[in-house]
Chains A and B, each alone.
Chain A
Amino acid sequence: MQSNLPDTPLANPTAPRWWLWIVDRIAAIPGRAWAVMLILLVMPLVANDFFLFQIFGWSFILGIVALSLMFLAGYGGMVSLIQMSVAGLAGYMVALFGESGTAISLGLPWWFVIPLAIAIATLFGSLVGLLAVRTEGIYTIMITLAMASAFYYFTRQNYTIFNGYTGFNLVLPPALFGVDWRQPVAFYYLTLVVAGLCHLLVTYVSRAPFGLALQGVRDNPRRMAALGFNVTAHRVAAYAFASVLASIGGILLVWQNAQIAPGTAGIHATFDILIIAVIGGLSRPSGPFLGAFLFVLLATFAPDVLRAIGASGERYKMLIGAIFLIVVFVSPDGLLGLWERWKARMVRDDMMRGGGGVDR
């Protein structure tokens, strides 16, 4: 968490404080991030529609859901497998209260439906969090996994709210500003902006007093309690915050697929989110997006690649599982961890060669 705050103030000291704050924050964004942002912004010039909608759109969405897991696991030390269910619930609520091709949808206006969906999903996620924080460590995984599978079986059995096996179809985003948001370019920018905002929000929260206290709770709950912090409240609040992120991802997901069914938040989807977050790395908010991009690439192209080398194209899950196993075995903190270690080794090598300081 090194800050790249400049030594000299950039703006006129008489300018209002909020302006200085914003300038400082923007100046603190590292050059690499600017480069990534620029590349992502001009992507529609080079990438075709399939890539924009199916690869990048999906990566951003899965990245947002995995980001909520990364927030809980990385900053809160709680590996929660409920995130995909929260996302699924938000998607279901959008389909139920908004418009869809199913008779039980209520058809309320979007500006009411979206906050409502986020609120309901957040309430659900917080309630699960309230139960899950009563136990610690490895138990959290078990309990959240049990609840996630209970949610899956419930959506499959229940027809009055979740419409059972079939779920909802024709769930479309509102045509706001006269734009069809399911057009590849529009959808690309929609997901990009939302993902960027979520990333920014998590980065901000992780450095805000709440995020720092949460990291303290992760490292030593007893000491934090002795210092007067309410450990349980911080953990439940973390679940609530992560649920908001997950439900945003869930709403985007239902818009992308234009439908939602029990399998959307099934047990395999739950594991997929964990796999994404772990492959990317749980230590930084950019990890989940990296993991999601890799996952989507694998899920999309592995069948073709496998077929090209003569294997059966249906075995791509095995490939993803195997890569996940290798990453877990080789690097505890995912691809980002590998990258950091490689960078550290380069620096060490440079210093051994007597290269002195390395500019960053």
Chain B
Amino acid sequence: MSEFARKHPVWTGLIVLAVLFAIWAIFAPWPAGFEDIFGRKKVFLNALFSGITLGALYFLVASGFTLIFGLMRNVNLAHGSLYLLGGYLGYEFAEWTGLWLLSFLVVFVVMGCVGIAMQYLVFRRLEGQDLRQTLVTIGISVVAADIMLWIWGGQSYQVLSPDWLSGPMQLPLVTGYNREGALVYLKYPKVRLAILLAAIAIGIGIWLALNRTRVGMVIRAGVDDRDILGAMGVPIGPVFLGVFAFGAGLAGMAGIVGGTFQSIAPGEDTRFLMASLVVVIVGGMGSVQGAAIGALLIGLAEQLGSVYMPTYAVVLTFLIMAAVLAFRPQGLMGRRG
């Protein structure tokens, strides 16, 4: 950090200024002239928080995707299908038992088993043939989308959050003054805050597991060079199975989160597949920190974009991706190799 500051004083100054401006924009009430240009502060804060929450959701989907890719060089284009299936299963379970929290555990286990089945029955047989593996995942996603359409139909489902998480919650963030001149604070849905906190907790958990445990060490070594890892006598097959199961389970859990936060419907699978692709391309393939940064960037770009330039929001996402590809093809946190 300090080395960077010593090398690039101008850049550091600009970054510090930008951070200070962002902190001011978030915490202070906006002066009138400022609101004329940028619109109401409440709109901005809502878009900001929606963006961060959406980023949290994207992170849940993309972190499994990036781990699977990094370790197995397998672009699992059926990842969106796993997300959607998890959402449907979570909806069914929550409707059946009424236990929202338990549905996460159940879906994680069930989707983990699905992931194990995919790895064991399909990908293990096409070991080392990247293109064919990818083609197979496309075939699986086509078939899975059709089966899900068959079972659950074309309508959209909303997973209901439990009572203790419904309703808004006041945050200590000023949105402006009311007519009497008193400060008005931002109200934000409790369930979204819970999602955000849970995603942060899961992210920290993954980071700790990868960096502080033996299994995490094996996985990191596998991302760097799986052939050497196998040659050193580490049983690589079970590690692959475990990572695939974990990624699939995480995608399934994200499905429930997405179903609570937005809704689940046919077509969401491709939407989240695209989101994971962009997040992983921006963040760097195989890097969990990269997935976190990329997810935050893309989530913010989508929400702020849809508020401030409604018909061009996708272009903003696209421009971020193009810029990353042009200047840093391996992704923000990716390593060349």
* A residues lining the B interface (CB < 8 Å): 79, 131, 134-135, 137-139, 141-143, 145-147, 149-150, 153-154, 157-160, 267-268, 271, 274-275, 278, 312, 314-315, 317-318, 320-322, 324-325, 328-329, 332
Q: Which residues of A contact B129 (CB under 8 A)?
A: 332
Contact A138/B130 with A131-B326, A154-B314, A159-B311 known, Cβ cut-off 8 Å: yes
Q: Which residues of B131-149 are within 8 A (CB) of A?
A: 131-132, 134-136, 138-143, 145-147
Q: Which residues of B contact A158 (CB under 8 A)?
A: 311-312
Question: In the bound complex, do residue A150 and residue B142 qualify as a contact, i.e. CB atoms below 8 Å apart?
Answer: no
Question: In the bound complex, do residue A275 and residue B138 qualify as a contact, i.e. CB atoms below 8 Å apart?
Answer: yes
Question: In the bound complex, do residue B318 and residue A150 qualify as a contact, i.e. CB atoms below 8 Å apart?
Answer: yes
Contact A147/B318 with A131-B325, A138-B134, A332-B132 known, Cβ cut-off 8 Å: yes
Question: In the bound complex, do residue A325 and residue B274 qualify as a contact, i.e. CB atoms below 8 Å apart?
Answer: no
Question: In the bound complex, do residue B139 and residue A150 qualify as a contact, i.e. CB atoms below 8 Å apart?
Answer: no
Partner of B132 from A154, A159, A267, A328 at Cβ < 8 Å: A328
Question: In the bound complex, do residue B312 and residue A271 qualify as a contact, i.e. CB atoms below 8 Å apart?
Answer: no
A162: nearest residue on chain B (CB-CB)? Answer: B311
Can you list 8 A-B pairs, Cβ within 8 angstroms, ordered by A? A134-B325, A138-B130, A149-B277, A150-B274, A154-B312, A157-B310, A160-B311, A321-B146
Partner of B274 from A137, A139, A149 at Cβ < 8 Å: A149
A358 to chain B, nearest CB (A): 31
Interface residues of B, dominant DSSP? helix
Give the B interface residue count (CB, 8 A): 41
**In the complex, number of A-B residue pairs with CB atoms less than 8 Å apart:** 114
A229 to chain B, nearest CB (A): 21
Q: Is B297 an interface residue (CB 8 A)?
A: no
Question: In the bound complex, do residue B280 and residue A142 qualify as a contact, i.e. CB atoms below 8 Å apart?
Answer: yes
Q: Which residues of B contact A312 (CB under 8 A)?
A: 150
Question: In the bound complex, do residue B147 and residue A318 qualify as a contact, i.e. CB atoms below 8 Å apart?
Answer: yes
**Bound-state Cα–Cα, A325 to B138, Å:** 9
Q: Is B285 an interface residue (CB 8 A)?
A: yes
A278: nearest residue on chain B (CB-CB)? Answer: B135
A156: nearest residue on chain B (CB-CB)? Answer: B314
A112 to chain B, nearest CB (A): 27
A159: nearest residue on chain B (CB-CB)? Answer: B311
Question: In the bound complex, do residue B75 and residue A315 qualify as a contact, i.e. CB atoms below 8 Å apart?
Answer: no
Partner of B77 from A145, A153, A320, A325 at Cβ < 8 Å: A145
**Bound-state Cα–Cα, A128 to B280, Å:** 18
Question: In the bound complex, do residue B136 and residue A325 qualify as a contact, i.e. CB atoms below 8 Å apart?
Answer: yes
Q: Is B322 an interface residue (CB 8 A)?
A: yes
Question: In the bound complex, do residue B146 and residue A318 qualify as a contact, i.e. CB atoms below 8 Å apart?
Answer: yes
Question: In the bound complex, do residue A320 and residue B142 qualify as a contact, i.e. CB atoms below 8 Å apart?
Answer: yes
**Bound-state Cα–Cα, A314 to B317, Å:** 35
Q: Which residues of B contact A145 (CB under 8 A)?
A: 77, 274, 277
**Bound-state Cα–Cα, A278 to B143, Å:** 16
Question: In the bound complex, do residue B311 and residue A146 qualify as a contact, i.e. CB atoms below 8 Å apart?
Answer: no
A138: nearest residue on chain B (CB-CB)? Answer: B130
Question: In the bound complex, do residue A274 and residue B135 qualify as a contact, i.e. CB atoms below 8 Å apart?
Answer: yes
**Bound-state Cα–Cα, A147 to B278, Å:** 9
A148: nearest residue on chain B (CB-CB)? Answer: B274
Q: Which residues of A contact B278 (CB under 8 A)?
A: 146, 150
**Bound-state Cα–Cα, A147 to B73, Å:** 21
Per-residue CB contact flags for chain B residues 218-229 toward chain A (1 = under 8 Å, else 0) read 000000000000
B71 to chain A, nearest CB (A): 14
Question: In the bound complex, do residue A157 and residue B311 qualify as a contact, i.e. CB atoms below 8 Å apart?
Answer: yes
Question: In the bound complex, do residue B146 and residue A134 qualify as a contact, i.e. CB atoms below 8 Å apart?
Answer: no
B302 to chain A, nearest CB (A): 10
**Bound-state Cα–Cα, A317 to B266, Å:** 14
Question: In the bound complex, do residue B73 and residue A131 qualify as a contact, i.e. CB atoms below 8 Å apart?
Answer: no
B83 to chain A, nearest CB (A): 14
Question: In the bound complex, do residue A135 and residue B135 qualify as a contact, i.e. CB atoms below 8 Å apart?
Answer: no
Q: Which residues of B contact A321 (CB under 8 A)?
A: 139-140, 142-143, 146
Q: Is B158 an interface residue (CB 8 A)?
A: no
